[in-house]
Amino acid sequence: MKKIFPTLLLLLLGAITFQSCTSSKKLSTTSAVLRLAPKKGSAYDMDMIIKTKIEGMPGADMGIDMTTKSDFIVESVDAKGNFVYSSKTIHVTTKMDNPMMNVDYDSDKPNLDNPGEAAFHENIKGLLNIPFVSKLDKLGNVLEAPKPKNPDVKITEQQLQTVNQSQNSFINYPEKAVKVGDQWTHTQDINGQMPMTVTTNYTVKSITPTSVTLGLDGKIKLQEGGMGTGSGILIGETTVDRITGMIQKQNLTQKITMTVMGNDMKTSTNIDLVVTKK
């Protein structure tokens, strides 16, 4: 169990989701063109709450509550609308009550005398306050995967995979304008210790002069060759800003049945994301 625990927490951290600059008074509520169009120099706070229940862990079932706080800055935007951004995780908390191990972790004041907290801190400390840069196009496709902004920073392959998995928090927009009831589907392969294929269906629920609300549902398939096998579902809702295409808030629930290191498990995870412009 001690070998599984830090790895699952790190994976949860990576489980770790942007139209023109026209005045909102002129935007139609009949249809919307969704594009990632943040301005150079724009900065955001990203606050995430992750609540997970795991059935089938060796020893006992487990509940894990985690919060993360990240900074997001748009570094540059080119003529095609492709943009480079940097992001860094500045604070993490994790709480877990389990007969075999209790954890009440705060990255600002880790208790290294607690074996669970010490193991988690060892995995995560190389990611805290380290800016990573990535490049996306205006539809949300990744053009350059995340890498440390400072090329001299050394991180492990597992840590880099965790950061890469966080790219799944971006929405991929369709080419055409959408109206209420329209749907589109995006499939993405996510690499890492637990590689997976995520197929997400988006449905337009409402359009206002300032925002668009989307319903989400989809399927998750763990790929062969990772630390686990299995499949699951996801369902949720997200509201995006019409001007920048940035997520304003998102709620997502995913449920996965999997086998990890010979243990049959069921996980249920609820993720609440709030993005606030500074």
pLDDT of 20 = 33
Query: DSSP E strands: which ranges in the chain?
Result: 31-32, 43-55, 62-77, 83-97, 103-106, 132-136, 142-148, 178-179, 183-190, 196-207, 211-222, 228-241, 247-260, 263-277
Listed by start position, the domains of the chain span 4-277
Residue 252 Cα distances to 49, 113, 148, 233, 243, angstroms: 11, 34, 28, 11, 23
Percent of the chain with pLDDT over 70: 85
Q: List Cβ neighbours of 119 (8 Å cut-off, separation of 6 or more).
A: 2, 5, 6
pLDDT at 262 over 90: no
**Under CATH, which architecture does the 4-277 domain have?**
Roll (2.30)
Q: What is the DSSP secondary structure assignment for residue 193, as one 8-state letter?
A: S
What's the one-letter identity of residue 211?
S
Cα gap 97→92, rounded to integer Å: 17
pLDDT of 118 = 87
More confident residue, 106 or 156: 106
pLDDT at 196 over 50: yes
Each residue's pLDDT tens digit, 47-71: 999 999 988 876 678 888 999 999 9
Which range has highest mean pLDDT (10-14, 98-102, 203-207, 254-258)?
Answer: 203-207
Position 269 confidence tier, pLDDT thresholds 50, 70, 90: very high
Strand partners, 198: 188, 220
pLDDT at 22 over 50: no
Residue 21 Cα distances to 29, 146, 238, 243, 276, angstroms: 16, 27, 21, 6, 18
pLDDT of 7 = 45
pLDDT of 169 = 62
Q: Which residue has the tokens 């059935």?
A: 55
pTM: 0.85
> Mean pLDDT for the chain?
85
pLDDT at 173 over 80: yes
More confident residue, 256 or 14: 256
- Provide the b/e sequence for 68-85 (b: ≥16 CB within 10 Å): bebbbbbeebeeeebbbb
pLDDT at 168 over 60: no
pLDDT at 95 over 70: yes
Cα gap 237→230, rounded to integer Å: 24
pLDDT at 104 over 70: yes
Query: Among residues 112, 43, 103, which one has the least CA distance to residue 75?
Result: 43
Q: What is the DSSP secondary structure assignment for residue 210, as one 8-state letter?
A: S
Q: What is the DSSP secondary structure assignment for residue 174, as one 8-state letter?
A: P
